[in-house]
Amino acid sequence: MTKQPNILMIYADQMRYDCAGFSGNPDVKTPHLDRLANEGTCFDEAFTSYPLCTPFRASLLTGKYAHKAGLYSNHFPIDTDQPSLAPILNARGYRSGYIGKWHLYGGPKPGFVPPGPDRMGFDHFVGYNRGHYYMDAIFYRDTDQPYRCRRYEPDFQTDHTIEFMQSARAKGDPFLAYVCFGPPHFPMDMPEHWRRMYDPDKITLPKGTPNPELQKRRAQERTARDFDGDDNFGERSKADKIEGQDPEIETEAQIRKFVAEYYGMISNVDHNVGRLLNWLDAQGIAEDTIVVFFSDHGDMLGQHGSYCGIKRQAYRASAQVPLLIRYPGTFAAGKRVTSLVDVAVDTMPTLLEACGAEVPDSVQGTSYLSLLEGAEDIPTRDHVQFELMKADFGGRSERHVKPERGIRTPDWLYVRKQDRPLYLFDQTADRDELINLVDDPAFGAVQAELDARVVRNMEETGDAWGLEMAFPPPGFMTHAEGAAYLETTVKPAAIEVP
């Protein structure tokens, strides 16, 4: 492929695969995403190897597993001295623009990301390092002057994305436009008409939600361990609990309210996807533009005895994500792909190959371009890895002291800690992953084979059980410290914009 198409990447933070019309959800309304799926290719078995924000972002830009990209926990800065997506496309004449949450500049909250290497090659930037303040948002441009907007954040970020694409068109350059919406990641801050869009009593909860007995057992385990991080279902530290991060939602009524509001956020994301698609149509460039819609991870939504708002799990609820790609006249339309894809490491080489750019030797992902161009669904990989690194921030936040590794194949999901296996699920007979077969003698041979593959994957990708990033990262702030800094220092200096 020699043509240099425009690229529009739309990233919804913490959106589950099964929370959209195109994935068969009976409740949530996503007409524009459904349109994108019908006009493009929908990946029904897309996963992320590290379902956590910062590691995913690092993998997406570099095409490397989080441990090789050197960023496998939140709050740490990325190593900018490695090949990544934007500089490669810039060298081919693209204008690259990033809008939204960056989360690759270490600990500052909200955080000005200075022009230059820290923006990983993006030459236009309207965003901030970290924060989820959707109704009273702060962002920066090319200086450390903060701007404050009280409109709903995805709405004005869509405006900025259109503004960037328009400016690139005026110069006659192909563009790489990358917009990262904060929602549907909690907190559940949104305009009231989106909040009230779904009736909590009428939605269909995911299978196994809630599970009172499992929730009771998990609560007892969390209390007994005093949040020591060994149980990743309750990954909150005492500091998290005080600061009100991962919402403590466990009853059915609480879960229903959370899910209903989560759906409202998704419908707003869908609304803004529609605005972007309509703009491409109005400009007459839809056929010249690759549109990619994706997420970094899902949300447990109370499934498997976990809290709402939790990710960092190998379960489908956390690791399976939407992936929709449209390029009219070039990529297959109306195609459903059931082959496994790792969105984190496979997307960068796919886009480079689609643009005729050379894929760096450092890339560990596998291009899935053949799945987009051809009528057949011939797998490009036979498994997706899962990794969760050790993250102990001295009891201050996001504590998880025992890492996990795993493997997902078309037939099985297997996950272990270093000292013991955790779970084994039959993906054919138990797609909802409710029956744990780990250490069942009847599946001993399967478990042994998968265990050996996990070890082999670690060896082949340069992974190790003892990997841990040194605490504290540069500029580290707890969520409480970041919120205080925002109120006392950033907002008083901010310029109000409509």
Rounded mean pLDDT, 419-425: 96
Distance between CA atoms of residues 35 and 324, nearest Å: 10
- pLDDT at residue 222 greater than cutoff 90: no
Instruction: Give the residue carrying structure tokens 């498997």.
Output: 304
Which pLDDT score, from 0 to 100, does residue 227 have? Answer: 35
Instruction: Give the residue carrying structure tokens 């956020």.
Output: 265
Q: Which of 73-77, 154-158, 208-212, 452-456 has the lowest mean pLDDT?
A: 208-212
Which pLDDT score, from 0 to 100, does residue 231 have? Answer: 41
Which pLDDT score, from 0 to 100, does residue 206 have? Answer: 87
Which pLDDT score, from 0 to 100, does residue 480 have? Answer: 87
> What does the mean pLDDT of the chain come to?
91
Which pLDDT score, from 0 to 100, does residue 219 have? Answer: 59
Dump pLDDT digits (tens) for 392-416. 766 555 566 789 999 999 999 999 9
Closest to 14 measured CA to CA, from 290, 355, 367, 258: 258
- pLDDT at residue 245 greater than cutoff 80: no
- The class that CATH gives domain 6-217+248-383+478-497 is alpha beta
Cβ-based neighbour number of residue 172 at 10 Å: 8
Which pLDDT score, from 0 to 100, does residue 158 have? Answer: 98
Under the banding of pLDDT at 50, 70 and 90, the label for residue 325 is very high
Rounded mean pLDDT, 118-129: 98
Under the banding of pLDDT at 50, 70 and 90, the label for residue 391 is confident
Residues 6+ away with beta carbon under 8 Å from 95: 123, 124, 164, 167, 168, 171, 173, 174, 175, 176
Spell out the domain ranges in the chain: 6-217+248-383+478-497
Distance between CA atoms of residues 175 and 303, nearest Å: 40
Under the banding of pLDDT at 50, 70 and 90, the label for residue 235 is very low
6, 290 contact by CB (below 8 A): yes
- pLDDT at residue 291 greater than cutoff 60: yes
357, 89 contact by CB (below 8 A): yes
Rounded mean pLDDT, 6-34: 98
184, 12 contact by CB (below 8 A): yes
Give the chain as a 3 state SS string: CCCCCEEEEEEEECCCCCCCHHHCCCCCCCHHHHHHHHHCEEECCEECCCCCHHHHHHHHHHCCCHHHHCCCCCCCECCCCCCCHHHHHHCCCCEEEEEEECCCECCCCCCCCCCCHHHCCCCEEEEECCCCCCCCEEEECCCCCCEEECCCHHHHHHHHHHHHHHHHHHCCCCEEEEEEEEEECCCCCCCHHHHCCCCHHHCCCCCCCCCHHHHHHHHHHHHHHCCCCCCHHHCCCHHHHHHCCCCCCCCHHHHHHHHHHHHHHHHHHHHHHHHHHHHHHHHCCHHHEEEEEECCCCCCCCHHHCCCCCCCCCCHHHHECCEEEECCCCCCCCEEECCCEEHHHHHHHHHHHHCCCCCCCCCCCCCCHHHHHCCCCCCCCCCEEEEECEECCCCCCCCECCCEEEEECCCEEEEEECCCEEEEEECCCCCCCCCCCCCCHHHHHHHHHHHHHHHHHHHHHCCCCCCECCCCCCCCCCHHHHHHHHHHHHHHHCEEEC
Which pLDDT score, from 0 to 100, does residue 23 have? Answer: 98
The type of residue at 3 is K
pTM of the model as a whole: 0.94
Closest to 386 measured CA to CA, from 18, 72, 43: 72
Rounded mean pLDDT, 417-434: 96
Instruction: Tell me the chain's radius of gyration from C-alpha atoms.
Output: 21
Dump pLDDT digits (tens) for 28-71. 999 999 999 999 999 999 999 999 999 999 999 999 999 999 99
Tokens of 316: 């489908």
- pLDDT at residue 3 greater than cutoff 80: no
% the chain with pLDDT above 70: 90
Under the banding of pLDDT at 50, 70 and 90, the label for residue 237 is very low
461, 113 contact by CB (below 8 A): no
Instruction: Please provide residue 286's backbone torsions phi and psi, each rounded to the nearest 5 degrees.
Output: -60, -40
Distance between CA atoms of residues 121 and 89, nearest Å: 9
Instruction: Please provide residue 216's backbone torsions phi and psi, each rounded to the nearest 5 degrees.
Output: -60, -45
Under the banding of pLDDT at 50, 70 and 90, the label for residue 211 is low
Chain centre to alpha carbon of residue 401: 22
Q: Which of 24-38, 100-114, 222-236, 456-470 has the lowest mean pLDDT?
A: 222-236
Which pLDDT score, from 0 to 100, does residue 306 have? Answer: 83
Closest to 354 measured CA to CA, from 221, 219, 176, 488: 176
Dump pLDDT digits (tens) for 449-496. 999 999 999 999 999 999 988 888 888 888 889 999 999 999 999 999
Which pLDDT score, from 0 to 100, does residue 217 have? Answer: 61
CA-based torsion, 15, 17, 23, 25: positive or negative: negative
